[in-house]
Amino acid sequence: MRVALCIAAETARPMIYRPYAQEDFIALYAIEEACFQPPLRFGRGYMRRLVHAANAATWIADDNGRMAGFAIVDWRRDAGVVTAYIQTIEVAADQRRRGVGGELLRCVEQSARAAGAALLWLHVDEENSAAIHLYETHGFCREVREENYYARSRAALVLVKLLPPES
């Protein structure tokens, strides 16, 4: 796994993208609580299982020792083909519009490729235009719409990106 380093132009402080460490959980879950309300929020137990799964990768955006966001991708092999699913990409409200989500997306895509995934997919709230724009800008295509995925009357779009082998 690679650890990326980039400098945010507005602050000239380094934003480091690194794999999850066990001591990150409290800050990670605080972002989850800020980004999602029940019933859409992942429970603590489920989130712990995700970040510790052997078939998953969790990336942290670290802004000078403070968590700016995180992303989780997992993968599975079915009939000999590996597919990867982005469980979540979350960015703290005060860190948005700085490229954090895009860099986290690149990190999870790299992890999916490293796991041998041929396809990367996700669900996104069809009303989340900023997230849809991010994914489509990075090569994801709309596949289907799922009614009532998040809650009654809240549909999700399924977005998909093929991951051809790197040459």
Reported as a single tens digit per residue, the pLDDT across 38-56 is 778 899 999 999 999 999 9
Q: How far apart are CA 156 and CA 138, in angstroms?
A: 19
Reported as a single tens digit per residue, the pLDDT across 94-149 is 888 888 999 999 999 999 999 999 999 999 999 999 999 999 999 999 999 988 88
Please give the angle made by the CA atoms of 118, 77 and 17, to the nearest 5 degrees. Answer: 60
Q: How far apart are CA 160 and CA 81, in angstroms?
A: 15
pTM for this entry:
0.88
Q: Which architecture characterizes domain 4-162 according to CATH?
A: 3-Layer(aba) Sandwich (3.40)
- What residue ranges in the chain does DSSP mark as E strands? 4-7, 14-19, 56-63, 66-78, 81-91, 119-125, 141-151, 154-162
Domain ranges of the chain: 4-162
Q: How far apart are CA 54 and CA 121, in angstroms?
A: 19
